[in-house]
């Protein structure tokens, strides 16, 4: 089964389009876990256990695991194994190399670690994306318009982002390519959707970055009616300090889910 089919089935089954971003900043871990050898893994697995019936998918950010050295890589591997098999997991690596190097990254993400989807930077062109897109059962989210403030220097140039979107449509031969489009500039969500009716969106920037959730749902939906996957990282996993962090994360994820349901006109239960 393709990644996007699995994602749609999962989201429909639990009526949730919340993607929980797993960005484990060491200094923000609860004090009782911060200096523990397995503290990061315990923190993340408790978050997963608390939100597993609310999250349509998870998105660990590779950078925070690499920052911990070999121990961080082991944590990432163990985290992947701990997430239930029916929940898709996106490795947020923003991979962007060429040729055989891109193919090596694809093997690592999909064959070695077993992730279901990745994020890819298309700046170097076809070579960066095609080795990932060749995995027909996996998902590839191409960076189109990101949520960070510094993105405007390059990405506000119309010719650049529209070229990325048009290229992504060409890369979508297997029906497994989507776009990363941030929620912090709602007019650009609309602009990107006006160029492509069918590519699914992964939308960061809704939580701590204060993006426009209503616009993300309005313009993130595909022509088939599938809403965007709405990612929140810090707003969920760091919703509280101390021993109650997992329950606070659950409540934050449920709150985002319920906001999405209300805006979509869905159930509130």
CA–CA gap between residue 74 and residue 78 (Å, rounded) = 6
Q: Check residue 155 and give its pLDDT.
A: 47
**Is 150 within the bounds of a domain?**
yes
Tens digit of each residue's pLDDT, the chain (269 residues)? 899 999 999 999 999 999 999 999 999 999 999 999 899 999 999 999 999 999 999 999 999 999 999 999 999 999 999 999 999 999 999 999 998 999 999 999 999 999 999 999 998 899 999 999 999 999 999 998 654 444 454 445 556 788 899 999 999 999 999 999 987 766 788 889 999 999 999 999 786 566 789 988 989 889 987 778 999 999 999 999 889 999 999 999 999 999 999 998 854 43
Q: 233-261: per-residue pLDDT in tens?
A: 999 999 998 899 999 999 999 999 999 99
Full domain range(s) for residue 104: 3-264
| 180 located within any domain | yes
Q: For 120-135, what is each residue's pLDDT tens digit?
A: 999 889 999 999 999 9
User: Any idea which residues carry the catalytic annotation?
Assistant: 94
pLDDT of residue 183: 76
Q: Please report whether residue 163 resides in a domain.
A: yes
Inside any domain, residue 179: yes
In a domain, 89, yes or no: yes
pLDDT recorded at residue 160:
77
Residue partners of 89: CB distance under 8 A and separation at least 6:
57, 58, 59, 60, 80, 83, 115, 116, 117
CATH number at residue 211: 3.20.20.70
Q: What is the pLDDT of residue 209?
A: 61
Do the domain assignments include residue 269?
A: no
Neighbours of 217 (CB within 10 A): 21
The pLDDT of residue 161 is 80
pLDDT reported for residue 174: 95
Task: Work out how many domains the chain is built from and give that number.
Answer: 1
Instruction: Assess contact for 56 and 18: CB atoms under 8 A.
Output: yes
């Amino acid at each position: 089964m393709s990644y996007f089919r699995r994602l749609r089935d999962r989201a429909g089954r639990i009526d949730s389009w919340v993607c929980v971003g797993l960005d484990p900043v060491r200094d923000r871990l609860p004090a009782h876990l911060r200096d523990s050898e397995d503290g990061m893994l315990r923190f993340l697995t408790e978050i997963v256990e608390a939100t597993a019936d609310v999250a349509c998918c998870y998105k660990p950010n590779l950078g925070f695991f690499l920052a911990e050295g070999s121990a961080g890589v082991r944590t990432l591997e163990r985290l992947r194994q701990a997430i239930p098999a029916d929940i898709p997991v996106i490795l947020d690596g923003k991979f962007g190399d060429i040729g055989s190097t891109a193919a090596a990254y694809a093997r690592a993400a999909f064959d070695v670690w077993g992730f279901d989807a990745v994020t890819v930077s298309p700046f170097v062109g076809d070579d960066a994306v095609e080795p990932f897109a060749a995995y027909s059962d996996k998902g590839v989210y191409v960076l189109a318009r990101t949520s960070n403030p510094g993105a405007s220097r390059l990405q506000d140039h119309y010719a650049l982002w529209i070229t990325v979107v048009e290229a992504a449509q060409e890369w979508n031969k297997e029906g497994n390519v989507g776009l990363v489009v941030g929620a912090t500039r709602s007019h650009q969500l609309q602009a990107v959707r006006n160029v492509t009716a069918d590519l699914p969106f992964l939308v960061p920037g809704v939580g701590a970055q204060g993006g426009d959730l209503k616009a993300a749902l309005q313009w993130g939906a595909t022509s088939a009616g599938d809403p965007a996957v709405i990612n929140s990282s810090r707003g969920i996993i760091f919703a509280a300090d101390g021993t109650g962090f997992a329950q606070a994360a659950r409540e934050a994820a449920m709150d985002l889910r319920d906001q999405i349901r209300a805006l979509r006109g869905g159930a509130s239960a």
